[in-house]
Structure 1
Amino acid sequence: MLPHKENTKTKGKKYLSLSQFIVGIILTVILTTIAVVGGMYFWHQHTQDQKVTANSEKLSKVYETLANDYYKSPNKDKLLENAIKGMTKGLNDPYTEYIAKDKTKAFNEDVTGDFVGIGAEMQQKGDHIMITSPMKASPAEKAGLKPKDILKAIDGKSVKGKSLNEIIPNIRGEKGTNVTLTIERGSETKDFTVTRDTIHVKSVEVEQKDKITVFKVNKFQEGTSAELKSAIQKAQRSGAKNIIIDLRNNPGGLLDEAVKMSNIFLKKDTTVLYLEKGKQQEAMKTSNEPLANISDLDISLLVNEGSASASEIFAGAMKDHNVAKIYGTKTFGKGIVQTTRELEDGSILKFTEMKWLTPNKHYIHGKGIQPDVKIDSSDFENLHVIPSNQTFKLGDNDQHVKSIKIGLNALNYHTETQNTQFDSSLQAAIKQFQKAEKLKVTGAFDKETNRKFTERLVEKAHEEDSMLEKTIQHIKE
């Protein structure tokens, strides 16, 4: 473009160049847009603030009216708590809850890992309270409780309509005392008597299996990542080449511990997960270099349907970054994150703040993570619950009879058939079992026989661990 030449007839007047004119128009449009959008935002924000204020005033008015003018004298603290509980319950979110001041001790104990109880992680799912995972070697596991069991009653009293925090004090109690839990598993219901004990959730346990070092991570609590890092370093010094990180029945826990644990294996600034709220996404990345020489190890993960939340964050990061091969069965499927806010009186509001996605942006909520290699547990570990309020005897024909046969055969009390018919060989096997367990020898599968039968199968599953053994065989092949 040629430079503009001044016209002598118009000397003293100043004209804009075309480029200046265009820039002026653009600036005008931008400023107008900012003014309009800013005004709209201010109006929207003002409207929202007005709504919040109006709703707060409405809630306050209802509270004051009932507190002062109701024909009886209501407990004002209870009135307020019920209002808060109503708001959290109305969200239909099993992970959002209000925890009253007198219940916060149990909540905080779960983070540190020391309490008296049965050792089972639970969650509220709709109107049900579900066992997420019984902890390894806990009273709950020994009694036969399993992931996805539905709690129906405690000591004969229904838990219907009650929140998780309302029922926890009834499950916990004095060491050495018993609590009877009525459990629904599939279409069957059974009572489990569990003896309360001091539960210390040791984050990381280590054992050597066929030249493979197995790290059992029980929960993501304070210090879990540091424990695992230290344990792996010790294994490296001993010449370890193959490791398994066992996350079975690990219910999760602290998000930052899952990120730190991933950082043991992943390079600095590597995405562990994405947090998503509305249309906004934020990558949570590792902040340090990985453990020295960690790439020299062959790493495997072992998961099952009791592996949830932070376990799935860690497993998802390891899988998406091709750091480890995953064995076992599909995980639980919890892809949302909770935040806690402590209120002035010491009570706690726990609520779902966002959802999370794996590094490859998979949303696993309600779906779980599929293993690379499917490893099932033994047949006797997958038996349907056998109702404790029924007695099975010679001549019966029932699906539960087949479960009894499978279980007794696993315990080395052999029967001639594996069908649903209660025959003489099953009667003989039950008599042998009752005699060995010092029970009344009747040949009928009654409540007491059922209880001992369950105990022995749980012990066998714990001692033999067929899923771990099968995983090790796959790794060695």
Structure 2
Amino acid sequence: MTQRDNEYEQKQRKKIIHIKRSHLFILLGLSIILTAILAVTLTLGIQHWRSGLDKEQRYSFSKVEKVYQTLNNDYYKKEQSDKLAQAAIDGMIKELKDPYSEYMSKDDTQSFNEDVSGDFVGIGAEMQKKNNQIQVTSPMKDSPAEKAGIKPKDTVTKVNGKSVKGKPLESVVKEVRGKKGTYVTLTIKRGEHEQELKIKRDKIHVKSVEYQKHDHIAVLKINKFQNNTSTELKSAILKAHNEGIRRIVIDLRNNPGGLLDEAVKMANLFIDKNHTVVKLKKGQHTEEVKTHNDALAQAKDMKVSILVNEGSASASEVFTGAMKDYNKAKVFGSKTFGKGIVQTTQEFKDGSLLKFTNMKWLTPNDHYIHGKGIEPDTKISTPRYQTLSVIPSDKTFKVTNKSKHVKTMKIGLTALGYKVNNESTTYDQSLESSVKKFQQNENLKVTGEFDKETNDKFTQSLVDKANKQDTVLNDLLKKLK
């Protein structure tokens, strides 16, 4: 390399160094700005990703936020922020037009969780409102109520010294329940005698499976699908097997459903491992929910009948559909409700909860029963009086009135043994005469008008008749003999 070359190279180095020094602060400034832009963009991107909303959804929801902010800040009178938020949530739920989707407050969420778990804290006494009185239907076995001496048909007049007169049943039940280990004082009237009972609250488990033996047949009544229902059913099957019974009736009438996984576990008692119990479908995606265990050996020995009606819904239909598709049971009764959709829940930090429909379900053989129900193999009709709609209690009916509820009165009174000439919707002299006889027999004021007191007694009489005379179950037992 020549001397001239060295001089040229040195000049170039000085030039480069000179350029870097002169632009150093500009480059640093640009770097900081670009880093900030990148950080903001990345942060917004993560927020948008976490929100789960696309660009159009974010734009739509930004209007909701803007309206909320405007009303909060500029409305002419002060409104509570939480009530505005609640109204927005209620509006979104209402727009779904889905009776199975709902938003629950913290208190409602607690009741919901107790319902699906079957566990609550209280005294263990089932109550009903009868003739405007709070009456104990029955104390649960080994419950604090039973140990305290509460008997069926006891009337509760006070809770913690305060009268329950005129209070709704739900309100009284809420007062009786409380924290585990605390006490509640009930004033109980039995006949003419009144006494106070101080009862310690405890954790109560409501059994979802009831066992009854009818000669060589075991009837297993399942009230709802809650935590451990499958375990309770397994115990009932083992009990029947140990007693030498090889025929069981699984009674799902008026069972509204409950936990889907319990329906799958129940089916697994009869259906072998790796078999599909239900197919869950959302859009184009289908998930098959399969059995995880071998079927119960004792269940394989059983001849199974399932009894359903129009009140058997949701998880009841999942179980029935699977058992029917695999020919594990014969289905009796009347067509089921037809609820072929599934709900899930999302609980929030404040204890509130959103329950919403997120998919539909199909039986193993791809039957979609929503709005259709499951047809029984053998139909056993429910007595007409057990399918009657409720008559409004805030209205009094009398001669010359015309209403669909008048026909309900006529069918119900006929079932109770009172003579009615026809089933028209006109409140005629024949109906008035029957109402008077009913009022007289039930120690009511005899007016011939179908008022609130008459309505309450009428409804209770039909319920009592249904409980005492289960004609559908009796018909099934005759068929199985």
Normalising by structure 1, we get a TM-score of 0.67
Number of residue equivalences:
366
Is residue 2:235 matched to residue 1:230? Answer: yes
Corresponding residue for residue 247 of structure 2? 242
Rate the CA distance shift 1:336–1:50 in 2: closer, same or farther, 3 A.
same
Letter in 2 for 1:240: I
Secondary structure of 2:323's counterpart equals: helix
Give the Å deviation of 1:384.
Answer: 5.6
Is residue 2:266 matched to residue 1:268? Answer: no
> Where does structure 2 lack aligned partners over 5 or more consecutive residues?
1-48, 133-166, 176-200
Corresponding residue for residue 180 of structure 1? none
Rate the CA distance shift 1:308–1:396 in 2: closer, same or farther, 3 A.
closer
Give the Å deviation of 1:63.
Answer: 3.0
Corresponding residue for residue 95 of structure 2? 90
Letter in 2 for 1:173: S
The answer on whether the counterparts of 1:116 and 1:172 sit within 8 Å (CA) in structure 2 is no
Give the Å deviation of 1:367.
Answer: 1.1
CA deviation map 1:239-279 (0-9, x unaligned): 11111101111111111111111111100011000000110
CA deviation map 1:199-234 (0-9, x unaligned): 974301111224211111001111111111111111
Looking at structure 1, the residues matched to 61 and 427 of structure 2 have their Cα atoms a distance apart, in angstroms, of 65
Corresponding residue for residue 325 of structure 2? 320
CA deviation map 1:314-365 (0-9, x unaligned): 1111111111111111111111111111223332222211111010111111
Larger relative contact order (Cα-Cα within 8 Å, sequence gap ≥ 6): 1
Secondary structure of 1:272's counterpart equals: strand
The answer on whether the counterparts of 1:142 and 1:455 sit within 8 Å (CA) in structure 2 is no
Letter in 2 for 1:256: D
The answer on whether the counterparts of 2:224 and 2:258 sit within 8 Å (CA) in structure 1 is yes
Corresponding residue for residue 440 of structure 1? 445
Looking at structure 2, the residues matched to 443 and 53 of structure 1 have their Cα atoms a distance apart, in angstroms, of 63
Overall identity of the aligned pairs, in %: 55
Give the Å deviation of 1:170.
Answer: 8.2
Looking at structure 2, the residues matched to 384 and 94 of structure 1 have their Cα atoms a distance apart, in angstroms, of 19
Looking at structure 2, the residues matched to 78 and 444 of structure 1 have their Cα atoms a distance apart, in angstroms, of 44
The 5-angstrom pairing of residues 85-164 of structure 1 reads 85-113=90-118, 139=128
Corresponding residue for residue 17 of structure 1? none
Corresponding residue for residue 472 of structure 1? 477
Looking at structure 2, the residues matched to 176 and 435 of structure 1 have their Cα atoms a distance apart, in angstroms, of 36
Looking at structure 2, the residues matched to 63 and 410 of structure 1 have their Cα atoms a distance apart, in angstroms, of 56
Rate the CA distance shift 1:337–1:379 in 2: closer, same or farther, 3 A.
closer
Looking at structure 1, the residues matched to 95 and 428 of structure 2 have their Cα atoms a distance apart, in angstroms, of 53
The answer on whether the counterparts of 1:329 and 1:371 sit within 8 Å (CA) in structure 2 is yes
Looking at structure 1, the residues matched to 74 and 431 of structure 2 have their Cα atoms a distance apart, in angstroms, of 69
CA deviation map 1:281-331 (0-9, x unaligned): 110000001111312211011111111111111111111111111111111
Looking at structure 2, the residues matched to 404 and 54 of structure 1 have their Cα atoms a distance apart, in angstroms, of 55
Greater Cα offset, 372-381 or 300-309: 372-381
Corresponding residue for residue 306 of structure 1? 311
Letter in 1 for 2:87: N
Looking at structure 1, the residues matched to 171 and 407 of structure 2 have their Cα atoms a distance apart, in angstroms, of 37
Looking at structure 2, the residues matched to 237 and 114 of structure 1 have their Cα atoms a distance apart, in angstroms, of 29
RMSD: 3.6
Corresponding residue for residue 219 of structure 1? 224
The answer on whether the counterparts of 2:89 and 2:103 sit within 8 Å (CA) in structure 1 is yes
Letter in 1 for 2:69: E
Normalising by structure 2, we get a TM-score of 0.67
Letter in 2 for 1:213: A
The answer on whether the counterparts of 2:131 and 2:456 sit within 8 Å (CA) in structure 1 is no
Corresponding residue for residue 296 of structure 1? 301
Give the Å deviation of 1:381.
Answer: 2.5
The 5-angstrom pairing of residues 326-345 of structure 1 reads 326-345=331-350
Rate the CA distance shift 1:75–1:408 in 2: closer, same or farther, 3 A.
closer
Looking at structure 2, the residues matched to 281 and 90 of structure 1 have their Cα atoms a distance apart, in angstroms, of 26
Rate the CA distance shift 1:275–1:140 in 2: closer, same or farther, 3 A.
farther
The answer on whether the counterparts of 1:213 and 1:235 sit within 8 Å (CA) in structure 2 is yes
Greater Cα offset, 68-77 or 331-340: 68-77
Secondary structure of 1:173's counterpart equals: helix
Corresponding residue for residue 64 of structure 1? 69
CA deviation map 1:168-189 (0-9, x unaligned): x988312399xxxxxxxxxxxx
Looking at structure 2, the residues matched to 50 and 374 of structure 1 have their Cα atoms a distance apart, in angstroms, of 54
The answer on whether the counterparts of 1:428 and 1:443 sit within 8 Å (CA) in structure 2 is yes
Letter in 2 for 1:89: K
Is residue 2:363 matched to residue 1:365? Answer: no
Rate the CA distance shift 1:422–1:351 in 2: closer, same or farther, 3 A.
closer
Looking at structure 2, the residues matched to 422 and 78 of structure 1 have their Cα atoms a distance apart, in angstroms, of 46
The answer on whether the counterparts of 2:413 and 2:420 sit within 8 Å (CA) in structure 1 is no
Corresponding residue for residue 463 of structure 2? 458
Rate the CA distance shift 1:292–1:449 in 2: closer, same or farther, 3 A.
same
Letter in 2 for 1:174: V
Give the Å deviation of 1:383.
Answer: 4.3
Secondary structure of 1:219's counterpart equals: coil
> Where does structure 1 lack aligned partners over 5 or more consecutive residues?
1-44, 118-136, 144-168, 178-197
Which has the larger Rg? 2
The answer on whether the counterparts of 1:244 and 1:299 sit within 8 Å (CA) in structure 2 is yes
Letter in 1 for 2:464: E
Rate the CA distance shift 1:102–1:170 in 2: closer, same or farther, 3 A.
farther
Corresponding residue for residue 172 of structure 2? 174
The answer on whether the counterparts of 1:336 and 1:356 sit within 8 Å (CA) in structure 2 is yes
The answer on whether the counterparts of 2:334 and 2:376 sit within 8 Å (CA) in structure 1 is yes
CA deviation map 1:383-411 (0-9, x unaligned): 46556534446x99987666555544433
The answer on whether the counterparts of 1:116 and 1:173 sit within 8 Å (CA) in structure 2 is no
The answer on whether the counterparts of 1:201 and 1:219 sit within 8 Å (CA) in structure 2 is no
Rate the CA distance shift 1:439–1:114 in 2: closer, same or farther, 3 A.
farther
The answer on whether the counterparts of 1:142 and 1:458 sit within 8 Å (CA) in structure 2 is no
Secondary structure of 2:332's counterpart equals: strand
Rate the CA distance shift 1:309–1:412 in 2: closer, same or farther, 3 A.
same
